[in-house]
Amino acid sequence: MSPVNKSEHGLSRRNYWRSLEQLENSPEFQRWAQAEFPEGLSEVISPVTRRSFLSLMGASMALAGLSGCIRRPEEHILPYSKAPEDIIPGIPNFYATAYPHSGFGVGVVVESHEGRPTKIEGNPQHPFSLGATDVFTQASVLNLYDPDRLTSYVSGGQAITRSAFVDQLRSKVSELKTRQGAGLRFLSGLSTSPTLEALSAQLSQSLPQAVWHTYEPVSLENAVAGGHLAFGQAVIPTYQLDKADVILALDCDFMGTEPGSVLYGRQWSRRRGNDGASTPTNRLYAVEGIFSITGAMADHRLRLPSSHVDGFIRALGAQLSSQGLSLPSELQMALEPHRTHPFDARWVSALSAELLAARGKSVIMVGSAQPASVHALAHALNASLENVGQSVQYSPAPIGVASVANPDTGLTGLVAALRQNQVETLVILGGNPGYDAPADLELATLIKNVPTSIRLGSHQDETALACKLVVPQSHYLEMWSDVRALDGTASIVQPLIEPLYDSMSELELLSHFVDGASNRGYELVRAQWQTALGTLDFEKRWRRMLHEGVIADVAAPPVQVVLNGASIGAGLAQKEMPQLSLQNLELRFVTDARVFDGRFANNGWLQELPDPMTKLTWDNAALISPRTARELAVKRGDMVSLKYRDRTLEMPVWPMPGMADYVVAVSLGYGRTHSGRIGTGTGFNAYLLRDSSAPYFDAGLVSTRTGGTHLLATSQEHGSMENRPLVLEATVDEYQKNPRFAQEAVEHPPLRSVFTEHEYVGQQWGMTINLNVCTGCSTCVVACQAENNIPVVGKERVLRGREMHWIRIDRYFAGDEETAEAVQQPMMCQQCQNAPCEPVCPVAATVHSRDGGLNDMVYNRCIGTRYCSNNCPFKVRRFNFFNYHEDFTEIEKMQQNPDVTVRMRGVMEKCTYCLQRINSARRQMKLSGAARIPDGTITPACAQACPVDAIVFGDVNDPESRVSRLKARDMNYALLAELNVKPRTSYLARLRNPNPELG
Amino acid sequence: MDNQRPPMEGEPRRRPTGYLFPAWTNKIATAALTGILVMGGVVTFVVWYYFSPKHTDVGYQPVQPVPYSHKLHAGDLGIDCRYCHTNVEKSAHATVPPTQTCMNCHVTIKKDSAALLPVRESFAKNIPVEWVKVHKIPDFAYFDHSRHVVRGVGCVECHGRVDQMEVVRQVQPLSMSWCLDCHRDPAPHLRPKEESVTQMDWKAPSDAASFGQDLVQKYNIHPPTDCSGCHR
């Protein structure tokens, strides 16, 4: 009586696979997948045999027994001596601030327990993030408690006190003043802080000869240069994707790592069934060489190497113009030769027809990796399609962004000065240029030759080692500052905690160079805004902006732009597209979805987070298409030597379905030599291949197999689902023909339980996950980890399938390996009403609750038989093989959420729907005397963090609740309905909205 | 085999072949079984009685760094519990007061008392007084004072007559079964919201169980008995 897959409807007939190995389906793979944990691996990795393990366990148990003899250890209560205002022990406080991520602010609200910030949430009042967050925002709190942070001032390798440093600095500054700052250079990461801008303006008065350089490994310099080309103005585009019917993303991972992704994902999702409409009302086209999460969400995806995107947009421009779009005449002339092109003509003409039909309601987005000419042409096409002012707006580029794009104030200008020994004092504020500068500049060596080099940084990292004086840098949760979002919205960055160490912020260090400036961050920021806003009612406004996290009405109005056709046309000088082949591969540098540009290398949460597409943890790899892998005769994990110009790098390969052929994509940020106990030595440093002349992609790479292999830890096959129809999708067309396709996907006999089923009355909790918008970005995974004290286990244990994440995001491929499409499915405890885990527990450690109808996990009862995990059809239970919290330093413990039990060795755990939040809402209800908890009061950490609002939680017994209305939709389906497990979590099937012309 | 006749007078009694043990050994089995049962019973009783929180925890009365008398302050002087334990109606923790609260009075009253030296020191140096915790529940159990106090469970129900204690001691086992006794039958432990929860000698006007039953109805009291009510 096995369930039958009903497969007469289009997409639901698809065969899904998670890895190329599964697609092949060799007997080895089948054996591997059927084991609960990939046991064979443990012998490969470690020499500990079962026997020696048992003897160790015996000894440790005997010791544990002894320690149990002390029956009542004396505990102390330490009340405050003088209690601070506003802190009630046991009740968290929330403060609004902003997280500066590579220069741009994300509005956040931070949860603080008795003065310890523990969890970052999105700030719904921030207009440029709308309460959404990304993995970096979520994980940023862990950096505060990084035990490897720099704790003292260092001079020539010796720790010195803060006052000794300040004395040294003062005498240096007065010496510099005598020669008007000649020989003084600053190098900072991108900053949009108005206070910093004001300080550096004052600096140019007191030290007029000083030069300020800005470097950011991955930033918007190409977009700004493109704006210059198109409009003659320093502008950056911002998009309103909720106003767009047709979106074309050119090499642009706007849901992933591009600036503004937090907002863009949410805007896009509003048109994918999140706004009440049942079907998607926009169409996304993606053109890209790597397989990004944006590409996975696209309705149409074209595989093209990044170096061919230039040709593609020209061909599209020519096609648009031939279909009647009026362009500036110079531009039209320049595009004329591109009417014939090597791309799929049907694709280009269908796309161009759609764009024309959706004038004023379309967007062409270009990724930061693309050169200025591509950006300029996209600006021109957006303007001609009447999108500017509608779905596209321009805001003034912050000074910092503009100076990255300017060669004099960028990194190259500094390197030129360093090479000519014109730099006497170099102040490096933040960033890590000693590691992440392009290899050809040899910056670290040049810095070593500077007589006085001062480094403000959080770690004793690659840059700090090259500098004479090192200053510990404050984390953003310890300092006063301000920051602007991409669209110019300003926020105050306010501290949640006194600096853990005697550290300084950028503003505080810089203030020592400015005459008469206060050295305290608070006074600097306050003075800046008092000047900007005036003293009238300032105190009230200041308190308001600290409370709201946003400074109202100070965002600059959108810039009016005028197209300069001649300049754009000139930028389109005839250029041959490189012919890629095995001997001439394209090298593509990508921002990593986990460690970004390397700044998160020492963050355990992000190192262990599986990459959204490759599912790799603790490593990066050279991604190539399966066909290229076959031609190179390499397979997963084989080491190759990548030779580009005169530099080589050895790296393991990872064949990735859906990638363009002859492209080798390497992510930045790994292979750190001095990052700390977590990040040092993980992965391979792609910056060693990076050249300042082609920082994002270039042809001319040669790859040869070295013969070695590297063990890569991936979670992509963990928790295999045996080909059951778990992800369901259809095209809009198919859905309209049979709206109940999802519920009818599996045919099964009438379901009857052998037990009398419980009646669930009162408020009963449930969840929906909308696969239509879930991008797989994994923000929920990190948010869950931060909220629920989930440990990091390390690469070795990930290899054994022992990662502890309560949420696993299953990424399925469909189709063949070249044109693969992908679907993402978050998978956590489904809170089955007839939970298979419960009857098999010998000690009733997992039981059902009457009040919320949830599957409770009782840690203090669990004896660790793991039967429940064996019997869980979703494979979402996690077992503590070790006492992962045992070695936590006092600093690391400060991040832990006091409302959630820290689990011991030998205990099973799993998603609880954030029980602590449910209980806290229930408590509020009881204190206020209300009869029920209103809908929307409880938001689990995953749902709060989700940038696309895919996760909705609420009372399933209330037909008016948001979750009930979603569950009533006809594309709502429960997983494994045929088993009658009755999960409380259900999914909304994915709907693709392909262009009928391309059908 | 050849020896069939009974022994003659004066002839030594011959042991029957095939019996290796003396006859008294027959009693060993019974004695051992009885012994094991008795011992088992004793061990069970000892563990059951002496290892239970009722025996180990009730009466725990550690020495505190400051000889603070609840009897004097709460009993004789009649200071309300909430003057010091300010957050008991708001938070999970009743909160031991900051030193500042002591000093509100003791800047003028008994300001030179030797017993108060640690308090003055704490206030001057801004370091906490290290009180010894009396009422302990395990880390995996999340007890919430506010939920109980606001719904009409008096302090005395768990803490006993603190107003009569010179040094605070534990009077209830605070074990899970003890918690559940009340969660399954809350009626006898409730008082109306108009009455003070801090009044130690409060008595129900009529039979506590039936009086409480009305309050259960009136206040819609459904204490959780799910694991997730207290464990998370």
Residue A808, strand partner residues: A827
With respect to residue A550, please indicate whether it lies within any of the assigned structural domains: no
Least confident stretch, A233-237, A242-246, A749-753, A845-849: A749-753
Shared-domain flag, residues A688 and A755? no
Average pLDDT over residues A752-762: 84
Find chain A residues with C-beta within 8 A of B100's C-beta: 80-83
Evaluate if residue A70 carries a pLDDT over 60.
no
Where residue A488 sits, what CATH number does that domain have? 3.40.50.740
Q: How far is B225 from chain A (nearest CA, A)?
A: 8
Shared-domain flag, residues B170 and B225? yes
Strand runs labelled E in A227-386: 235-239, 246-250, 283-288, 300-303, 362-366
Categorize the per-residue pLDDT at A278 as very low, low, confident or very high, splitting at 50, 70 and 90.
Answer: confident
> What does the pLDDT read at residue A979?
87
Share of chain A above pLDDT 90, in %: 63
Indicate the number of domains in chain A.
5
Shared-domain flag, residues A197 and A128? no
Q: How far is A72 from chain B (nearest CA, A)?
A: 9
> What does the pLDDT read at residue A6?
40
Nearest to A74 among B89, B132, B232 (CB): B132
Contact criterion met (CB < 8 Å) for A927 and B142:
no
Count of helices and strands (H, E) across chain B: 10, 1
Find chain B residues with C-beta within 8 A of A91's C-beta: 87, 90-92
Nearest to B133 among A71, A75, A89 (CB): A75
Written as one letter, the residue type at A145 is: Y
Categorize the per-residue pLDDT at A329 as very low, low, confident or very high, splitting at 50, 70 and 90.
Answer: confident
Least confident stretch, A31-40, A67-76, A125-134, A690-699: A31-40
Q: Domain ends where: A396, A429, A452?
A: A396
Shared-domain flag, residues A491 and A454? yes
For residues A269 and A277, give the distance between their C-alpha atoms in angstroms, rounded to a whole number: 12
Of A997, A982, A616, nearest to A811 by C-alpha is A616
With respect to residue A816, please indicate whether it lies within any of the assigned structural domains: yes
For residues A693 and B186, give the distance between their C-alpha atoms in angstroms, rounded to a whole number: 76
Contact criterion met (CB < 8 Å) for B95 and A915:
no
Evaluate whether A325 touches A385 at the Cβ level (below 8 Å).
yes
> What does the pLDDT read at residue A56?
57
With respect to residue A899, please indicate whether it lies within any of the assigned structural domains: yes
Q: How far is B92 from chain A (nearest CA, A)?
A: 6
For residues A441 and A217, give the distance between their C-alpha atoms in angstroms, rounded to a whole number: 13
Query: Within an 8 Å CB–CB cutoff, is residue A84 touching chain B?
Result: no
Shared-domain flag, residues B91 and B42? no
Shared-domain flag, residues A209 and A225? no
Shared-domain flag, residues A306 and A446? no
With respect to residue B105, please indicate whether it lies within any of the assigned structural domains: no
Which A residues in the span 584-643 are in contact with B, Cβ-Cβ below 8 Å? none
Interface test with B, best of A70, A81, A846 (most B CBs within 10 A): A81
Contact criterion met (CB < 8 Å) for A926 and B129:
no
With respect to residue B106, please indicate whether it lies within any of the assigned structural domains: no
Which DSSP helix (H) or strand (E) runs through B18? none
Shared-domain flag, residues B40 and B141? no
Q: Domain ends where: A712, A734, A762?
A: A712
Residue A997 is given by DSSP the state G
Shared-domain flag, residues A922 and A959? yes
Q: Domain ends where: A396, A431, A451?
A: A396
Shared-domain flag, residues A954 and A967? yes
> What does the pLDDT read at residue A74?
87
pLDDT in tens, A18-64: 787 777 777 777 766 666 555 444 444 454 555 555 655 555 555 54
CA–CA distances in Å: residue A361 to residues A128, A301, A348 = 20, 20, 18
For residues A912 and A891, give the distance between their C-alpha atoms in angstroms, rounded to a whole number: 27
Evaluate if residue B17 carries a pLDDT over 90.
no
Interface test with B, best of A847, A926, A928, A932 (most B CBs within 10 A): A926
Categorize the per-residue pLDDT at A716 as very low, low, confident or very high, splitting at 50, 70 and 90.
Answer: confident
Q: How far is B164 from chain A (nearest CA, A)?
A: 22
> What does the pLDDT read at residue B12?
63
Closest residue in B to A925 (Cα) is B147
Written as one letter, the residue type at A620 is: N
Contact criterion met (CB < 8 Å) for B132 and A75:
yes
Shared-domain flag, residues A318 and A357? yes
Closest residue in A to B140 (Cα) is A901
Q: What residues make up the domain containing B143? A: 69-77+87-95+135-229
Where residue A258 sits, what CATH number does that domain have? 3.40.228.10
Shared-domain flag, residues A312 and A229? yes
For residues A342 and A81, give the distance between their C-alpha atoms in angstroms, rounded to a whole number: 76
Contact criterion met (CB < 8 Å) for B131 and A77:
yes
Contact criterion met (CB < 8 Å) for A860 and B138:
yes
**Mean confidence (pLDDT) of chain A:** 88
Shared-domain flag, residues B219 and B158? yes
Q: What residues make up the domain containing A690? A: 585-712
Query: Higher confidence at residue A749 or residue A357?
Result: A357
Indicate the number of domains in chain B.
2
Written as one letter, the residue type at A474 is: S
> What does the pLDDT read at residue A280?
85
Shared-domain flag, residues A427 and A510? yes
Evaluate if residue B220 carries a pLDDT over 90.
no
Closest residue in B to A914 (Cα) is B232
Nearest to A858 among B60, B91, B227 (CB): B227
With respect to residue B120, please indicate whether it lies within any of the assigned structural domains: no
Helix (H, G, I), strand (E, B) or coil at A987: strand
Where residue A599 sits, what CATH number does that domain have? 2.40.40.20
Q: Which two tokens stand for residue A128?
A: 């440029």
Shared-domain flag, residues B73 and B48? no
With respect to residue A74, please indicate whether it lies within any of the assigned structural domains: no
Q: Which two tokens stand for residue A22?
A: 């599964």
Query: Higher confidence at residue A430 or residue A57?
Result: A430
Residue A577 is given by DSSP the state P
With respect to residue A59, please indicate whether it lies within any of the assigned structural domains: no
Query: Within an 8 Å CB–CB cutoff, is residue A562 touching chain B?
Result: no
CA–CA distances in Å: residue B22 to residues B15, B34, B35 = 10, 21, 21
Find chain A residues with C-beta within 8 A of B142's C-beta: 899, 919
With respect to residue A575, please indicate whether it lies within any of the assigned structural domains: no
Where residue A814 sits, what CATH number does that domain have? 3.30.70.20
Shared-domain flag, residues B50 and B139? no
Shared-domain flag, residues B142 and B49? no
pLDDT in tens, A457-473: 999 999 999 999 999 99
With respect to residue B39, please indicate whether it lies within any of the assigned structural domains: yes
Of A98, A145, A100, A88, nearest to A121 by C-alpha is A98
pLDDT in tens, A111-126: 999 999 999 999 999 9
> What does the pLDDT read at residue A958?
93
Evaluate if residue A592 carries a pLDDT over 90.
yes
> What does the pLDDT read at residue A113?
93
Interface test with B, best of A72, A80, A761, A846 (most B CBs within 10 A): A80
With respect to residue A549, please indicate whether it lies within any of the assigned structural domains: no
Least confident stretch, A154-158, A644-648, A838-842, A951-955: A154-158
Contact criterion met (CB < 8 Å) for B228 and A854:
yes
Closest residue in B to A77 (Cα) is B131
Nearest to B133 among A77, A900, A927 (CB): A77
Shared-domain flag, residues A387 and A413? no
Shared-domain flag, residues B191 and B151? yes
Average pLDDT over residues A158-179: 91
Q: How far is A423 from chain B (nearest CA, A)?
A: 48
> What does the pLDDT read at residue A145?
94
Q: How far is B184 from chain A (nearest CA, A)?
A: 14
Find chain B residues with C-beta within 8 A of A71's C-beta: 56
Q: Which residues lie closer than 8 Å to A102 by C-beta, 6 or more apart? A: A189, A190, A216, A218, A219, A259, A596, A597
> What does the pLDDT read at residue A334?
87
Q: What is the torsional sign of CA A292, A294, A297, A300?
A: negative
With respect to residue B12, please indicate whether it lies within any of the assigned structural domains: no
Shared-domain flag, residues B41 and B91? no
Helix (H, G, I), strand (E, B) or coil at A338: helix
pLDDT in tens, A351-401: 999 999 999 999 999 999 999 999 999 999 999 999 998 999 998 888 888
Shared-domain flag, residues A805 and A919? yes
Q: How far is A837 from chain B (nearest CA, A)?
A: 16
Contact criterion met (CB < 8 Å) for B133 and A83:
no
Written as one letter, the residue type at A707 is: G
> What does the pLDDT read at residue A13?
57
Which B residues in the span 179-218 are in contact with A, Cβ-Cβ below 8 Å? none
Whether the predicted interface score ipTM is above 0.85: no
Query: Within an 8 Å CB–CB cutoff, is residue B227 touching chain A?
Result: yes
Nearest to A78 among B130, B227, B229 (CB): B130
Shared-domain flag, residues B182 and B213? yes
